[in-house]
Structure 1
């Protein structure tokens, strides 16, 4: 009996050791997450309630980040959250000020300060976004806004948004157009551009066939292939072209894929509730 009891005890202890080891290995396999918002504050914000939708999505995105950060003890979390604002010529908006307020890197935060920092951003987020909303409106007509150069911004910063060793998730809030007031600095290589003005050439129902035969598109850049991209807020500007959102989505998808991205999803502009539900489903 003693031998049997000893054998069972030994088996039980060995089982506990292996279970513990597997749990430790499992924890090591879980990468921290890096949640990034890329925000377009061009003349699209003149559309009624557009910024309300954008900022509601940012708040929901932060909640996803916060839930993930608290998945285990927040003290051990290395997750990141940040909002990046695409620069715009002649804009008086203090981008650095708001990017500093809308950023938390738990991997660079001391253990004793992690929970406090997370709570502070959670409690101040709505107030900071309200301040940003006020400062982002510096003109009442489209001509007051030069327009953001999404292509140039992601060409220069896109790959750097993704942090090695992290699960990188990028949410782009934009109507999807690569346009700005001046077209003088648009780069072209055959039928690939840094602007979406070529959409004006695709006005018939067979636009996709024409686009593929003439190889219309955006000039590819280099992006991290493992980063997950969600582009939200896509909307058309021409009431007489019901296919605009389909075209924009098609060329964004083509561009991201040619730039190395393997995971991209798109959310059309709609109600806050619908867009939020779609975003949560994408995460």
Structure 2
């Protein structure tokens, strides 16, 4: 009787290990969904800003390409896409560039997967150079209305995450939710769809004041398991040395309140430093 119970226990333990092993394998083998959200507002007037953005996009794509080939490109279901936030009065053909800057291997015929991956790898740099020329359609900040990051993610945020995938969203922005006109900004108590409220936080105790008044960005609904990386955060006013810290604080707070479990911030800096931070986050 004892032998039977012992054997039964061994069988149950073995089945448990097998089950756990299968679950772990399934988790490891999840296809990857790489998404870029690009802010082409007046921030791109800063010297070399687009060069930094596009350098990060190329590094991000390289990670997608290597992962797809590592796991056999013919069977890969990985996805890569660049999304451009619409901007009022911009002449840029967003749909055209988004089509050129995406590859969904799960929707690509097996016989065309390697060819399509190679084609995007070879055309990416040239396409980004063309985008740079068209995105810089004005020379002053007043030529750019500003992009509504809050509205874009409110309307599209959950759709950026694909069920059954390991999802990572890279947002390239300085972090501001500002516009030439503030007439459409929504406010609920002390939460906003714009970052204009940062101007009210002028003391060294700004964080305590913000927490007391429950100030911040109005939360939306995002997928919990998607990894978010916000790169390029920087302050606009040299006189406010705490501005970058404030933007970082409120971005993290907003993403967490919106349901995100993993949110990383990469400050604007040298291309090599930003690239190194990005690659560490997407490993």
Shift of 1:282: 1.0
TM-score, normalised via structure 1 length: 0.91
Q: Which residue of 2 aligns with 1:280?
A: 279
Helix, strand or coil at the partner of 2:70: coil
Q: Which residue of 2 aligns with 1:225?
A: 224
1:159-193 deviation per Cα after TM superposition (whole angstroms, max 9, x unaligned): 11101111100000000001111100000000000
Q: Which residue of 1 aligns with 2:5?
A: none
Alignment coverage as a number of residue pairs: 264
Shift of 1:72: 1.6
> In structure 1, how many angstroms separate the alpha carbons of the residues matched to 2:214 and 2:90?
35
1:213-247 deviation per Cα after TM superposition (whole angstroms, max 9, x unaligned): 00100000000000000000000000011111110
Shift of 1:252: 0.4
> In structure 1, how many angstroms separate the alpha carbons of the residues matched to 2:278 and 2:264?
9
Q: Which residue of 2 aligns with 1:200?
A: 199
Shift of 1:26: 6.0
Larger Rg: 1
Shift of 1:28: 3.9
Q: Which residue of 2 aligns with 1:107?
A: 106
Helix, strand or coil at the partner of 1:75: coil
C-alpha change, 1:259 and 1:26, in structure 2 (3 Å) is closer
> In structure 1, how many angstroms separate the alpha carbons of the residues matched to 2:170 and 2:23?
30
> In structure 2, how many angstroms separate the alpha carbons of the residues matched to 1:71 and 1:182?
48
> In structure 2, how many angstroms separate the alpha carbons of the residues matched to 1:231 and 1:242?
20
1:82-109 deviation per Cα after TM superposition (whole angstroms, max 9, x unaligned): 0000000000000000000000000000
1:130 equivalent to 2:129? Answer yes
Helix, strand or coil at the partner of 2:74: helix
Helix, strand or coil at the partner of 1:134: helix
Give the superposed CA RMSD: 1.5
Q: Which residue of 2 aligns with 1:14?
A: none
> In structure 1, how many angstroms separate the alpha carbons of the residues matched to 2:20 and 2:185?
54
Shift of 1:23: 8.8
Moved more, 27-36 or 189-198: 27-36
C-alpha change, 1:182 and 1:22, in structure 2 (3 Å) is closer
Q: Which residue of 1 aligns with 2:157?
A: 158
Map 1:1-283 → 2, pairs under 5 A? 28-29=26-27, 30-283=29-282
> In structure 2, how many angstroms separate the alpha carbons of the residues matched to 1:26 and 1:182?
50
Shift of 1:25: 7.1
> In structure 2, how many angstroms separate the alpha carbons of the residues matched to 1:106 and 1:282?
23
Unaligned runs of 5+ in 1: 1-20
TM-score, normalised via structure 2 length: 0.91
